[in-house]
Structure formats: structure tokens, C-alpha cells
Amino acid sequence: MTIAVVDYGSGNLRSAAKAFERAVAETGAGGPVEVTADAERVRRADRIVLPGQGAFADCMRGLAAVPGMVEAIGEAVLRRGVPFFGICVGMQLMASRGLEHGTHDGLGWIPGEVVPLEPADPSLKIPQMGWNDLVLDRPDHPVLAGLPPGAHAYFVHSYRYAVADPGHLLAHVDYGGLVTAVIGRDNMVGAQFHPEKSQSTGLTLIANFLRWRP
């Protein structure tokens, strides 16, 4: 099983790849992890991981700038059902649109908008930076298997994913209001937090993704 970590100049690629390599080594699930900007390699992969950090529009432009990459990911994920994992802004790119520095179209895979994080408690800082406790909305989802209620995850973000369909919300956190933490539908999942920085929670999530047969 090949695992493609999509390289589109977003940064944070090696740390994400290392987390997947560690999960492969510890669980025996999965196979080679490859960081690649080659659309054909991504198209042929058995698992696709899209990391991301920075602004929504910059990441979307960066992804679109890699020759054939948006088309390759779309064909693999939407047509062939290849399991897909979006991390942080990589998750947000699945939205219909992002409202950071203007309105920008996303991939449109899971309906919703990426909107400013506006906690009801004015003492809470933006960006949200640090650990928070997950509330599992869909604890039966295979990618959340084995996570205890209140599992800790590490966040760094200023915008949140407002899903249009509550059924796509797998987990959330409270940060002066509900903040989407994990989303999913069909063969796609995404995490707003950084699994590679979230210790046992992150490794469990990654291992579950590698074993997942949607």
C-alpha cells in the first residue's frame, strides 16, 4: 500500500510524513510513505494525504499550480474511492469556499465554509494554539476507533470549518463555541488539528486511517 503525501509547497510535509511512517512501523498497516509533487504518483497511490498550513487561498493556489494535481486527486478520491486524509488547511480545502482574505473556492467535496474563528469568550486568543479535548460526535466512525472521550489534540488555526451537513461532523472541540475538529464522508476524512503533533491521539487516528476500508 503506497501512501502519497502531496507536496504543493505548503510546508509541514516532512513532519506529517514522519508521523505516517511511524504509524506504519508501529502497526504494520500501510506501506511506503512518499512525499511527492508528481500528479501521476498521487493518482496511483493507495492512500492520499493532503497537509496544509497558512492561508486558505494561498494553499488552494499552490495546489492548483502543480500540473495535473487537482485533477489527479479528484480522479483518485472521487472516482476510484481512494481514502483521503486532509490535515489542517488540507482539511479546509475540502470546503465549498474559504472566507479568508476574500472569498475563494475550495474543492467542494464536503459542503461548508471556512470562516473566521470568533470565540464567544473574549479572553480566548486567536489563533487557537495548543491542546484541546475532542468531543466525538460520531464515535462509531472507523477512523475514530479507540479514541477515548476527551482525547487531546494539538491545534494551531485562526479559521474553522463550518460544515453544511451536521452528519459530516465526526468530532469537535469547544473553543468559545463549537469548532470542527474532524470531518468525513464516504472515503474522505480531515482533521483541523495536527495529528503529527498530537502524540497518541494523532497516531491512533493515522493508524485507523491506514487500516480503513471505506
CA distance 194 to 6: 16
Q: How many CB atoms lie within 10 A of CB 149?
A: 9
What pLDDT score was predicted for residue 89?
A: 96
Active site residues: 88, 194, 196
Q: Please tell me whether residue 131 adopts helix, strand or coil conformation.
A: strand
pLDDT at 153: 97
Residue with cell 469568550: 121
Which among 126, 136, 10 has a CA at the least distance from the CA of 63?
Answer: 10
Helix (H, G, I), strand (E, B) or coil at 10: coil
- pLDDT in the model for residue 179: 98
**C-alpha cell, 91:** 482539511
Residues 6 or more apart in contact with residue 15 via CB below 8 angstroms: 196, 197
pTM recorded for the entire structure:
0.96
Rounded Cα–Cα distance for residues 65 and 100 (Å): 19
Residue 10: per-residue pLDDT: 82
Regions in the chain scoring below 70 on pLDDT? none
Backbone angles phi, psi at 111, to 5 degrees: -55, 135
pLDDT at 14: 86
Which one-letter amino acid corresponds to residue 19?
A: A
Q: Are 190 and 86 in contact (CB under 8 A)?
A: yes
Phi, psi (5° rounding) for residue 40? Answer: -70, -35
Set of cell numbers at residue 72: 489527479
Evaluate the CA torsion angle 162, 103, 88, 175 in order and state its sign: negative
Q: Give the C-alpha separation, 125 to 44, whole Å.
A: 42
In whole angstroms, what is the distance from residue 60 CA to residue 77 CA? Answer: 17
What cell was used for 214? 471505506
Confidence at residue 90, expressed as pLDDT on a 0 to 100 scale: 96
According to the model, what pLDDT value does residue 46 have?
A: 96
Distance CA(193)–CA(188), nearest Å, equals 16
